[in-house]
Amino acid sequence: MSLTESKPDAAAKAASLSARSLAVLSVAARNDALTAMHDALLANKEPILAANARDMARATSASESGHLSQAVLKRLDLSRPGKYDDMLQGILDVRGLDDPVGKCDLRTLLDDGLELERVSCPIGVLLIIFEARPEVIANIAALAIKSGNAAILKGGKESSDSFETIAKVIGSALEKTQVPNAAIQLVKTRDVIDQLLGLDQYIDLVIPRGGNELVRYVKEHTKIPVLGHADGLCSVYLHRDADKDTAVRVVVDSKCDYPAACNAAETLLVHEAALTTILPAVAEALFAKGVSLRCDEKSMEALKKALSPTSAALVQGSTDKDYDTEFLDLIMAVKTVPGTTVDSTDDASLDMAVAHINTHGSKHTDCIVTSSDESAEKFMSSIDAAGVYWNASTRFADGMRYGFGTEVGISTNKIHSRGPVGLEGLTIYKYKLRGHGQTAGEYGEGSGKRRYKHQNLAI
């Protein structure tokens, strides 16, 4: 890893050349590099946290003056309980995963002596542009090295001290390994994002890690494929037959476990029959965590009747915009789903909830709380999102929690990778054909032509 001052095109060209060497490096050598990274970050925890504290001091001042959001401030903080340890454990978890490179998932006998196979291979060069999150450097470096990809990382100014200190620690560690020096590069130079986004001849995939403004900017200013999501508009739907205790646990964790995360729930949909039976308990639990609710007319009326005057005072009316807003804070929009039938499946209401989520959501992660298998399965089949859950917090949408070790980000794309993207998402595939001088002209429908056998072979 190098903290490069090179011009963007030179850095990208060097990364492209290094990617070819890294792609054929043995898994043992790649794992050794991860061990070296982990040990160096563990040994240098104090100076890294000290650098992060300097970033935090500047960011706190910027936040207090209104120039930086609280969400960005929270993402920047490496001293949050467990965050540094999670970063270190993520490297070890990635090291312990199977080698994602060279896996064969298809073998076909086209004809005698002519065998086709499909095998996984690295994408090539990744460009990761991130705001605030300093742990991204370790996450991406670990996943890139293990998957045989080169990576260029460009951090935001708010994490500059953390960024530079972590880069030097990892760089020194990797110098003692077989990973090519230019395979992992950290770009320090300012105002190079547009130049990097134009280097599609060297860079194969862009991964923006930050707010929706950054992601949208990247998508609008490059020809390179982009993996990421602009918003984390996640919803929880309480069906009429939801268990009250389950609803409280799932909604509170989805909203409050880490409100600044992209997998935190922003909208609560409530079946009309659950407005008086379930919503008041959920609302009281949310109020206890400091959450304010922005309710439509029916849910507000139900809560004002069911809650004490003190609690009811914490409810305010919603606007249409609230159902399209990623609050990243202790705020939740509440909307009533009409329904009066006794049937617990209540397909019409379920369809309305699904329609709202598919219209207003960001295709990230959405959840239904219900006691009905049928309703749950229909919901999960109908929702157009990377993650669809039944009676489980949206906060599970995370690479580490999925067992991926860590992740490069969450993708809401419709191609290649979707959801938390780990090692598998950083590989594509190539077709290998082994023959004995056969030519395509020998095969066809005419007289004397050979016929393909197209027989599946054991993998």
pLDDT (tens place) for every residue of the chain, 459 residues total: 555 556 889 999 999 999 999 999 999 999 999 999 999 999 999 999 999 999 999 999 988 888 888 878 888 999 999 999 999 999 999 999 999 999 999 999 999 999 999 999 999 999 999 877 888 889 999 999 999 999 999 888 888 899 899 999 999 999 999 999 899 998 877 678 999 999 999 999 999 987 778 888 999 999 999 987 778 899 999 999 999 999 999 999 999 999 988 999 999 999 999 999 999 999 999 999 999 999 999 999 999 888 888 887 789 999 999 999 999 999 999 999 998 655 655 789 999 999 999 999 999 999 999 999 999 999 999 999 999 999 999 999 999 899 998 888 888 887 778 899 999 999 999 999 999 999 999 998 888 899 999 999 999
Helix-strand-coil split of the chain, %, nearest 5: 45, 20, 35
Beta bridge partners of 366: 235, 388
C-alpha to C-alpha distance for 166 and 370, rounded to whole angstroms: 45
Angle (CA) 80 81 87, round 5°: 80
Helix (H, G, I), strand (E, B) or coil at 434: strand
The answer to whether the CB of 128 falls within 8 A of the CB of 209 is: yes
C-alpha to C-alpha distance for 242 and 10, rounded to whole angstroms: 58
Angle (CA) 49 214 365, round 5°: 85
Under CATH, to which class is 234-396 assigned? Answer: alpha beta
Instruction: Count other Cβ atoms within 10 Å, centred on residue 156.
Output: 19
Give the CA count within 13 Å in the CB-facing half-sphere of 276.
5
pLDDT number for residue 410: 87
Full DSSP string of 216-244: HHHHHS-SS-B---S---EEEEE-TT--H
Give the CA count within 13 Å in the CB-facing half-sphere of 12.
21
Closest by CA position to 300, among listed 281, 267, 276: 276
Q: Is 2-227+408-428's fold the same as 234-396's? A: no
What are the structural domain ranges in the chain?
A: 2-227+408-428, 234-396
Element (H, E) at 312: helix 309-312
Q: Which residue has the tokens 């500059």?
A: 160
E-strand stretches of 164-264 = 184-187, 205-209, 234-238
Burial degree of 306 (CB within 10 A; 0-12, 13-18, 19+): middle
Instruction: Count other Cβ atoms within 10 Å, centred on residue 225.
Output: 16
Helix (H, G, I), strand (E, B) or coil at 177: coil
- Please report, for residues 40, 197, 358, the alpha-carbon distance to residue 24 in angstroms, rounded to integers and kept in the order given: 25, 27, 42
- What secondary structure letter does DSSP report for 450? B
Closest by CA position to 79, among listed 29, 134, 119: 134
C-alpha to C-alpha distance for 195 and 216, rounded to whole angstroms: 17
Element (H, E) at 297: helix 297-306
Q: Which residue has the tokens 């999960």?
A: 380
**Bridge pairing between strands 184-187 and 2-4:** parallel
C-alpha to C-alpha distance for 146 and 427, rounded to whole angstroms: 10
Sequence-separated (6 or more) residues with CB below 8 Å from residue 436: 113, 114
Tell the CATH superfamily of the 2-227+408-428 domain.
Aldehyde Dehydrogenase; Chain A, domain 1 (3.40.605.10)
Element (H, E) at 89: helix 83-96
E-strand stretches of 308-394 = 315-317, 331-337, 365-369, 387-390
- What secondary structure letter does DSSP report for 443? B
Rg (CA), the chain: 25
The answer to whether the CB of 236 falls within 8 A of the CB of 265 is: yes
- Please report, for residues 135, 292, 314, 335, the alpha-carbon distance to residue 283 in angstroms, rounded to integers and kept in the order given: 34, 9, 10, 13
Instruction: Count other Cβ atoms within 10 Å, centred on residue 171.
Output: 19
Q: What are phi and psi of 119, to 5 degrees?
A: -130, 150
Q: What are phi and psi of 234, to 5 degrees?
A: -95, 145
Helix (H, G, I), strand (E, B) or coil at 118: strand
pLDDT number for residue 212: 75
Angle (CA) 395 405 99, round 5°: 145
Closest by CA position to 207, among listed 282, 125, 132: 125
